[in-house]
Amino acid sequence: MQSVWNNRYLYLFILPGIVWFLVFCYQPMYGVLIAFKEYDIIKGVFRSDWVGLLHFKELFGSPGFTGLLKNTIAISLLKMVFGFPAPIILALLLNEVRSSVFKRLAQTISYLPFFVSWIVITGIWYDLFSVDGGFINSLLTGLGLIDEPVFWFGNPDYFWGMILASDIWKGIGFGTIIFLAAITAVNPELFESAVVDGASRWRQVWHITLPAIRSTIILLFILNIGHFLDAGFEQIYAMQNEMVLDKAEIIDTYVMKVGIFRANYELATAVGLFKSIVGMLLLLTTNFIVKKFGEDGVF
Amino acid sequence: MKPTRGENIFQWFNYLFLTVLCFTFLFPFWRIAAISLNEGLDASRGGINFWVRKFTLDNYIAVFSRGDILNAYTISIGRTVIGTLLSIFLISLMAYGLSKNRLKGRKLINFMLILTLFFSGGLIPTYMLYKSLYLLNSFWVYVVPSLYGAAAVFIFRSFFRTLPQELEESAQIDGANDLIIFARIAIPLSMPIFATMALFSAVGHWNDYLTAVIYTTNEHLLPLQTLLMKVMNINQNESGSLAFGAVNLSDASRRTVTAESVKMAMLMVVVLPILVLYPFLQRYFVKGMIIGSLKG
């Protein structure tokens, strides 16, 4: 007890934090129980009646669910296959630049969209890709690549492409920071001896640079995969509209509309819980596989 | 060693590619600035990409003649300043406490924080919690739920662990308690991490639009980003839209203003604080990213 009293200020420092985490992180975890209950606002979460997996059956049986899941997985998969490697490639290209002034300037400019909100990005992209007078349509018609302006944001077929492109555009520059830091940490003697051995630039990248950033890549990949079903809530809610909703509704936007705008708490909680569990399983599985192959996992 | 022909060609393509890429990052902002400074009717004829054709400030006057924009500015600035200061203060306090081995129960608290990184209750239980805490339709919904974050606590903690122990020990011998040591020794030695974390927090506050969409129905509580969303008719299906017809066009000189040109001015108004501060602040972000990724 004496030591607790001596360190009383330290305990005081962390006390508000512990209360906050209990209230704002752990209370909602308990609230998840309503996914298995018939929520009664008067009885509260604890005393509401159990209904078992009723809401999950309703969810998996509803016709819209397949489309929802398909959109979420497709968008996430596109982002993983094309979006994840993009900053790695850009970092490798930046690393080849010999002029340090050009390199620094290019980096600084490429971070910029990262600091701008998805609402502003959406506004900017709506303007660039607009049907009447949009820059992209003028450019493409001017070059003779298309005959008439395309309604980029109004056609469901293009929606996934627009989401992927804008996501890469916003995040690619900022994503390079971590990889460039890892590349810079490589011992320059490795490159020097490779040059003596007559290795081309390409072989140096393949045999020295990429192995050097491998553990960074794997770590980020595992952390990303836990958020696989997120698909980008802020971005997609900003960019979706009535015309493209068939391709644009993802789990998170659906949860918000059903749960909050239409007050169907139980169903929306069930969807959210389904998402959390899948994310957790993906994370654990990937971490397990990565460790099997002898790499460092997250835990 | 002399670069080969293939390497030279690669270098040229690399410079060309990176230049084009940088152009795509800057040009959209430039174009919107140009349109926002041009007479609206003239701009609707198209063709304004790089330069202003007929200069005017009317679009900006029209934006600021809306009462709601000043209100939204106040909300955005208020939540950014209050939210950032409170959050950084509380997070650094907690991280400082957790950085000391003297603290009992450290491991349990650690585990409690790590778990929140991988699992959360989800949107609806969170919404119901805020409802019971009377946070819905309150200014504090912007501040209180984002006060802490496990990742930020860990980044601060690993920074505090690198501070020299001798300074603290000698201060303790002089009779200073932890509060004084934190304020007089730890904070002054940790300014880089404080600056970086505060900037990240501030940008997060400034750019957040979803909190208002989910947790408020009160028009007077809308921050700039959410107001912009409504004005631009972004995602008009659920949130409803505010018509721009209400702009006061009685002044003859403002007849050239169009809905489109005012939207562009509004975009600039929202993004300008970021664009202006960006060149000065970006190096802190980069430094912080590297500290966070290597130590965290």
**Chain A residues with CB-CB distance to B286 below 8 A:** 111, 177
Please give the C-alpha separations between residue A172 and each of A110, A115, A177, B206, B252, in angstroms, as whole numbers: 7, 12, 9, 21, 46
Say whether B232 and A122 touch across the interface (CB within 8 A): yes
Quote the number of domains for chain B. Answer: 1
Chain A, nearest residue to B276 by Cα: A112
Q: What is the pLDDT of residue B118?
A: 82
Higher pLDDT, B134 or A47: B134
Nearest CA in chain A to B199: A115
| Residue-level pLDDT at B34 | 93
Token pair listed for B251:
């002044």
What number is the average pLDDT over the span B273-277? 87
The verdict on a CB contact (< 8 Å) between B267 and A120 is yes
Q: Give me the pLDDT at residue B234, please.
A: 60
Distance CA B46, CA A133 (A): 6
Q: Do residue B279 and residue A108 have CB atoms under 8 angstroms apart?
A: yes
Query: What is residue B289's predicted lDDT score, i.e. its pLDDT?
Result: 66
pLDDT for residue B235: 52
pLDDT for the residue numbered B30: 94
Interface test with B, best of A11, A15, A23, A25 (most B CBs within 10 A): A25
Q: pLDDT band at residue B205, thresholds of 50, 70 and 90?
A: very high
Among A13, A40, A48, A130, the strongest candidate for a mutation testing the B interface, having the largest count of B CBs within 10 A, is A13
At residue B293, the pLDDT reads 57
The pLDDT of residue B292 is 59
Which pairs count as long-range contacts for A124-129, CB under 8 Å and 24+ apart, including other chains? A124/B28, A124/B29, A124/B32, A124/B267, A125/A153, A125/A162, A125/A166, A125/A239, A125/B28, A126/A153, A126/B232, A126/B234, A127/B28, A127/B31, A127/B32, A127/B35, A127/B264, A128/B28, A128/B31, A129/A153, A129/A162
Inform me whether the pLDDT recorded for A85 exceeds 90. Answer: yes
**A213 token code pair:** 């950033």
User: B235 to chain A nearest CA, in Å?
Assistant: 5
Å between B253 CA and nearest CA of chain A: 25
Mean of pLDDT values over B197-221: 93
pLDDT for B102 equals 85
Write out pLDDT tens, residues A25-41. Answer: 999 999 888 889 888 77
Could you tell me which chain B residue has the CA closest to the CA of A19? Answer: B148
pLDDT at B143 over 90: yes
pLDDT level of residue A47 (50, 70, 90 thresholds): confident
Chain-chain contact of A29 with B120 (C-beta, under 8 angstroms): yes
Higher-confidence residue of B234 and B106: namely B106
* Domain range enclosing B239: 27-295
Helices A118-128 and A135-142: crossing angle in degrees, nearest 10, is 30
pLDDT for the residue B247: 46
Q: Is the pTM of this model over 0.80?
A: yes
Distance from B5 to chain A by nearest Cα, in Å? Answer: 12
Percent of chain B at pLDDT exceeding 90 = 49
| pLDDT tens track for A207-237 | 889 988 898 899 888 888 888 888 899 999 9
* Residue that wins the pLDDT comparison between B138 and A294: B138
Residue that wins the pLDDT comparison between B244 and B118: B118
pLDDT score of B258: 83
CB–CB contact A252 B127 (8 Å): no
The answer as to whether B11 is a domain residue is no
Residue B240 has pLDDT above 50, yes or no: no
pLDDT at B17 (0 to 100):
96
Q: Which of A5-14, A108-117, A124-133, B243-252 has the lowest mean pLDDT?
A: B243-252
Confirm whether B274 is domain-assigned. Answer: yes
pLDDT of residue A48: 84
pLDDT of residue B21: 96
Q: Which of chain B's residues have a Cβ under 8 Å away from the Cβ of A3?
A: 102, 104
**Interface contact flag, B125 A32, Cβ < 8 Å:** yes
Among chain A residues, the shortest Cα distance to B29 is held by A124
The average confidence (pLDDT) of chain A is: 89
Cα angle, residue A107 at apex, residues B6 and B84 outer, rounded to 5°:
160
Cβ–Cβ gap B122/A269 under 8 Å: yes
CATH number at residue B67: 1.10.3720.10
What residues in A contact B153, CB-CB < 8 Å? 17
Task: Using an 8 Å CB-CB cutoff, list chain B residues near A112.
Answer: 25-26, 29, 278
Residue B4 lies in a domain: no
Q: What is the pLDDT of residue B238?
A: 38
Q: What is the pLDDT of residue B242?
A: 40
Nearest by CB: A127 against B32, B226, B236: B32
| Interface predicted TM-score of the whole assembly (ipTM), two decimals | 0.89
Mutate to test the interface with B, among A36, A115, A122, A205 (most CBs of B within 10 A): A115
Mean pLDDT across the stretch B218-240? 77
For the domain A63-292, what is the CATH superfamily, name and number?
MetI-like (1.10.3720.10)
DSSP letter (8 states) at residue B55: B
For residues A126-141, average pLDDT: 88
Residue B146's CB: how many other CB atoms inside 10 A? 19
CA B74 vs CA A7, A47, A165, B293: distances in Å? 41, 42, 34, 34
Question: Residue A134 has what pLDDT?
Answer: 85
Each residue's pLDDT tens digit, A143-170: 988 888 889 998 999 999 999 999 999 9
Q: What angle do CA A265, A75, A260 make, to 5 degrees?
A: 15
In-domain check, residue B220: yes
**In the structure, what pLDDT confidence band is assigned to residue B1 with cuts at 50, 70 and 90?**
low
pLDDT in tens, B156-173: 998 899 888 888 888 888
CA distance B116 to A26: 8
In order of A10, A141, B83, B150, B286, the CA distances from B94 in angstroms are 8, 58, 16, 10, 24
Cβ separation B97–A252 shorter than 8 A? no
Q: Is the per-residue pLDDT at A242 higher than 90?
A: no
Q: What is the pLDDT of residue A227?
A: 86
Q: Contact B122/A272, CB-based, under 8 Å?
A: yes
Gap from A251 CA to chain B (nearest CA, Å): 11
Q: What residues contact A56, with CB distance under 8 A and at least 6 apart?
A: A35, A270, A274
pLDDT score of B36 more than 70: yes
Separation between Cα atoms, residue A28 and residue A40, nearest integer Å: 17
Q: Is B122 in contact with A276 (Cβ distance < 8 A)? A: yes
Confidence bin at B134 (pLDDT 50/70/90): very high
Does the beta-carbon distance from B238 to A106 stay under 8 Å? no
Does a structural domain hold residue B264?
yes
Helices B150-161 & B106-118, crossing angle to 10 degrees? 140
Q: Checking phi first, is residue B235 left (phi over 0); if not, alpha (psi -120 to 50) or beta?
A: left
Q: Is the pLDDT of residue B237 over 80?
A: no
Q: Are B209 and B223 in contact (CB under 8 A)?
A: yes
| Residue B22 falls inside a structural domain | no
Query: Given this model, what pLDDT does residue B46 score?
Result: 77
Residue B139 has pLDDT above 50, yes or no: yes
Using CA coordinates, name the residue in chain A closest to B141. A24
How far away is chain B from the Cα of A29, in angstroms, using its nearest Cα?
4
Of A30, A109, A118, the CB nearest to B26: A109
If you average pLDDT over residues A174-202, what whole number do you get?
86
B152 lies in some domain: yes
**Burial zone of B67 (CB within 10 Å; 0-12 exposed, 13-18 middle, 19+ buried):** exposed
Q: Which of A31, A169, A178 sits opposite B128 (nearest CB)?
A: A31
Inside any domain, residue B3: no
Instruction: Tell me the pLDDT tens digit for each residue of A1-29.
Output: 677 787 888 899 999 999 999 999 999 99
Smallest Cβ distance to B25: which of A17, A93, A112?
Answer: A112
Angstrom distance (rounded) from CA B23 to CA B18: 8
Region of poorest pLDDT, from A83-92, A104-113, B173-182: B173-182
Task: For residue B52, give both structure tokens.
Answer: 């202003």
What integer pLDDT is reported at residue B246 of this predicted model?
42
Distance (Å) from the alpha carbon of B249 to chain A's nearest alpha carbon: 24
Q: Do B179 and A200 touch (CB under 8 A)?
A: no
Q: How confident is the model at residue B2 (pLDDT cuts 50, 70, 90)?
A: low
